[in-house]
């Protein structure tokens, strides 16, 4: 088919103005539009304005296909096609640079999910438009957006996506694969995504072993404090740390001082190479000698013994108060009690551990008003 409109086409249209002929003419005029003279272009644009009202969808589809990447198409024509049925609007919504952010945001807020997905695929998506797409709360729309490296997505918006869609593999997979993923977003994802996606997150090229460990531990902290979904399998976390030589005495000490007895028990069992139930018995029911035997079998430095023993003893004296944020307050009271008594208890903390616990204590809420 000759792509150039000529007298023969006009004669054909006059003789047989069928939908097929109109669609063919629409495609030819739209294809020629960029190369026309100013006068010819004005005439062509008047024809476009008639064709966007054509009753036959195939005519409007032909027009949309040809005009989708034309930067000189009149705004009113592009806007009309963008608000048409999906088969007409999707090419324009995905490719046309004539549409403004205002046009696109209005369409995202009022039109179908298919149109929202097309907008999310655009070569460039501004931060404001990205916010509007996330506001749809549509899983497919958000997954398409975060998988689009041409989308400008503010860190706050990415955190919101992690909070609202972190448990969705559909969104989680492209989000974890984003070229630039802020650490704050990675932290949130670590507490929400499936185990497979967690492994993918830790395998990112920009994820150092130290960063991955810190994210895992922070995720565990949030779970213990009731600020995130609890990881159902602490053993997997302990095993990961052990395999990567990150199950250090400091990490174990910090956990028990914050009241994370579940992690402490699993870590001691792993290092001592005994069953978890046996480790629990030695920690809680074996008296001081039982824990001492477990400590020695785990191969931990002697300098950590008094601090861990003190943390175990303090945990027996503490209980949850049942009020709001009681898990956080429990951890704070644990740390306070250990730090205020550590001189009397013969505990000697390493400087890094002391600074860590002091910092954590200051982050956590104090006593409830009823106390």
Per-10-residue mean pLDDT of the chain, 371 residues long, equals 51 60 77 80 85 89 92 95 97 98 98 98 98 98 98 96 92 94 84 79 82 75 53 74 85 85 93 96 85 94 85 78 65 77 62 70 53 40
Q: CA torsion sign, 24 to 26 to 30 to 32?
A: positive
Cα 367 to Cα 312, 318, 321, 362: the distances in Å are: 21, 13, 10, 12
| pLDDT at residue number 88 | 97
Distance CA 275, CA 368 (A): 38
* Contact assessment for residue 298 and residue 271, using Cβ atoms and an 8 Å cutoff: yes
Q: Which of 39, 74, 93 is the last residue of a domain?
A: 93
Distance CA 358, CA 332 (A): 10
- Domains: count for the chain: 2
Residue 151 lies in a domain: no
Give this prediction's pTM. 0.66
Please, what's the b/e burial string for 303-339 (b: 16 or more CB within 10 A of its CB; e: otherwise)? ebbebbbbbbebbeeeeeeeeeeebbbbbbbbbbbbb
Length in residues, the chain: 371
Residue 203 lies in a domain: no
* Contact assessment for residue 219 and residue 211, using Cβ atoms and an 8 Å cutoff: no
| pLDDT at residue number 31 | 77
Residue 138 lies in a domain: no
Residue 320 lies in a domain: yes
What distance lies between CA 185 and its chain's CA centroid? 6
Q: Which of 31, 58, 93 is the last residue of a domain?
A: 93
Closest CA to 70 of 51, 44, 103: 44
Q: Which of 68, 93, 118 is the last residue of a domain?
A: 93
Structural domain boundaries, residue 347: 248-371
Residue 226 lies in a domain: no
Residue 215 lies in a domain: no
Residue 180 lies in a domain: no
């Amino acid at each position: 088919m000759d792509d150039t409109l000529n007298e023969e086409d006009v004669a054909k249209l006059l003789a047989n103005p069928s939908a097929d002929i109109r669609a063919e003419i629409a495609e030819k005029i739209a294809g020629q539009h960029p190369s026309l003279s100013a006068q010819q272009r004005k005439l062509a644009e008047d024809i476009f304005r008639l064709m966007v009202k054509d009753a036959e969808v195939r005519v409007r589809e032909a027009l949309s296909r040809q005009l989708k990447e034309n930067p000189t198409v009149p705004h009113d024509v592009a806007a009309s096609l963008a608000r048409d049925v999906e088969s007409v609007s999707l090419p324009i919504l995905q490719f046309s640079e004539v549409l403004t952010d205002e046009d696109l945001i209005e369409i995202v807020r009022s039109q179908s999910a298919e149109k929202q997905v097309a907008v999310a695929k655009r070569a460039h998506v501004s931060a404001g438009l990205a916010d509007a797409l996330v506001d749809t709360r549509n899983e497919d729309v958000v997954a398409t957006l975060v998988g689009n490296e041409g989308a400008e997505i503010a860190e706050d918006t990415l955190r919101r996506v992690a909070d609202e869609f972190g448990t969705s593999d559909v969104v989680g997979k492209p989000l974890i694969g984003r070229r630039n993923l802020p650490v704050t977003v990675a932290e949130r994802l670590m507490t929400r995504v499936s185990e497979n996606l967690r492994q993918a997150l830790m395998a990112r090229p920009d994820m150092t072993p130290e960063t991955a460990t810190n994210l895992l531990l922070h995720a565990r902290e949030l779970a213990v404090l009731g600020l995130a979904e609890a990881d159902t399998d602490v053993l997997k976390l302990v095993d990961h740390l052990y395999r990567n030589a990150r199950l250090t005495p400091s990490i174990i000490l910090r956990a028990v001082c914050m009241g994370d007895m579940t992690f402490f028990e699993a870590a001691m069992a792993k290092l001592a190479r005994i069953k978890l139930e046996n480790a629990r018995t030695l920690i809680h029911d074996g008296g001081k000698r039982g824990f001492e035997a477990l400590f020695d079998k785990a191969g931990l430095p002697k300098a950590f013994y008094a601090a861990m023993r003190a943390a175990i003893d303090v945990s027996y004296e503490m209980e949850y108060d049942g009020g709001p944020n009681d898990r956080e307050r429990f951890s704070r009271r644990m740390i306070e009690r250990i730090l205020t008594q550590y001189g009397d208890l013969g505990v000697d903390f390493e400087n890094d551990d002391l600074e860590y616990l002091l910092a954590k204590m200051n982050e956590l809420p104090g006593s409830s008003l009823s106390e």
